[in-house]
Amino acid sequence: MTQQRAKQLVILSGKGGTGKTSLSAAFAYESTHAGMNYKTFFVDADVDAANLSLVLEAQVAEQHEFWGSSQAEIDVQKCTGCGSCESVCRYDAIFPHSEIPGVNWIDPIACDGCAACVYACPEDAISMIPQQEGFWYRSETPYGKFFHAELFPGRENSGKLVTLIKQNARLAADDQSVQLIVIDGPPGIGCPVISACAGTDLGLIVAEPGQAGMHDLQRVLGTLRHFRIPTVICINKADLYPQGTKEIYEFAETQGIEVVGEIPFDESIPLSMLQGVPIQVLYPESPAARAIHKIWHQTVNKLFQYEKQNV
Ligand code: SF4
Ligand code: SF4
């Protein structure tokens, strides 16, 4: 019998601070307490500022180095200072050496790793040196295995690192008959968001009422649509601006997208985050916890009901 692949749910918002990580943590709790029997793994795809581990009581079980791009380096013993490398570098990364006359030097910050200079050098004096750009981890949590990462400051390979941890989560999920992978997506619409979305089965957008929230919602929806990923919306802090909430419903209707629920403004959410636990652990009867419980059921029902389709 062919084994079913785990479904992938990506949780997104157009910007940070919309409650996306609180919702991901709350979903982790729901996955083991809501009685729906879906074995679930978790991914924090916000590799530039990962924080889901802080609310999942994550214990690192494996740590791996992440080697991303390479940077060019000149062997000063071989360099004749001919200047051929400077003329092909489109990133203005090559300069005369400040301490050794007659040879060139490559600024590691400016170097993009394109390797054009390597081919231009008649003395074979330039080598591409692989760079470690961070770590990725597999951790154990009370809710299931958790894949997360840390990109070193100033590094730019966040999309590649997101793809790497998603691939490892999926391989482990295949091995262990996991049915669901919940991905806490990065904020915005950049390269790591594209990597977080690719190959997923359902996108859940956390939207906030208001003009800026509507703009963020539309931007991130554009990314999900690009990948033809079915999408649902939940509205966070829905009671703070009812007119804005109404506008999100109207927009969703015009787009044929279901709103799976509203989360009211509730101080239980930041208080539980401060304590490093999902909201249900400390405030199971709070309005937000109850709302999230319904959103979880609605979302998971949709996920397992959807077949991938053109949207
Ligand atoms: S690898 Fe590319 S960016 Fe880096 S120094 Fe060489 S030509 Fe410039
Ligand atoms: S092309 Fe090679 S030999 Fe010429 S300046 Fe650059 S590193 Fe030196």
CATH number of the domain to which 94 belongs: 3.30.70.20
Whole-angstrom distance, CA of residue 49 vs CA of residue 263: 24
Which two tokens mark 160? 């590649």
Q: Helix or strand or coil: residue 83? A: coil
Q: Where are the beta strands (DSSP E) in 107-179?
A: 126-141, 144-151
105 CA from centroid of ligand 1 (Å): 11
Q: What is the pLDDT of residue 157?
A: 81
Given the CA of residue 126, which atom of ligand 2 is nearest to it?
Answer: 7
Domain stops at, among 101, 132, 163: 132
Q: What is the DSSP string of 172-183?
A: HHHHTT--EEEE
135 CA from centroid of ligand 1 (Å): 25
Do 185 and 269 belong to one domain? Answer: yes
Secondary element (H or E) of residue 171:
helix 158-175
Q: Is the CB of 94 under 6 A from ligand 1?
A: yes
> Domain residues for 128?
68-132
Whole-angstrom distance, CA of residue 173 vs CA of residue 226: 26
Q: How many CB atoms lie within 10 A of CB 106?
A: 21
* Closest listed residue to residue 160, CA positions, set 89, 66, 233: 66
Which two tokens mark 85? 């490398």
Q: What is the pLDDT of residue 158?
A: 86
Give residue for tokens 């003395």. Answer: 123
248 CA from centroid of ligand 2 (Å): 58
Q: Is the CB of 165 under 6 A from ligand 1?
A: no
What is the amino acid identity at position 181?
I
Alpha-carbon torsion, ordered 115, 129, 83, 157, to 10 deg: 50
Do 228 and 251 belong to one domain? Answer: yes
Whole-angstrom distance, CA of residue 75 vs CA of residue 81: 11
For the chain, what is the domain count? 2
Contact 3, 174 (CB under 8 A): yes
* Closest ligand relative to 107 C-alpha: 1
Residue among 75, 95, 109, 112 to mutate when testing ligand 1 (max atoms within 8 A of CB): 112
pLDDT in tens, the chain (311 residues): 456 789 999 999 877 777 889 999 999 999 988 666 688 999 999 888 888 888 999 999 999 999 988 999 999 999 999 999 999 999 999 999 999 999 999 999 899 999 999 999 999 999 999 989 999 999 999 999 999 999 998 787 888 999 999 999 999 999 998 999 999 998 877 788 899 999 999 999 999 999 999 999 999 999 899 889 999 999 999 999 999 999 999 999 999 999 999 999 999 999 999 999 999 999 999 999 999 999 999 999 999 885 444 34
Do 90 and 219 belong to one domain? Answer: no
What is the amino acid identity at position 43?
V
Asked, for residue 251, whether it belongs to a domain, the answer is yes
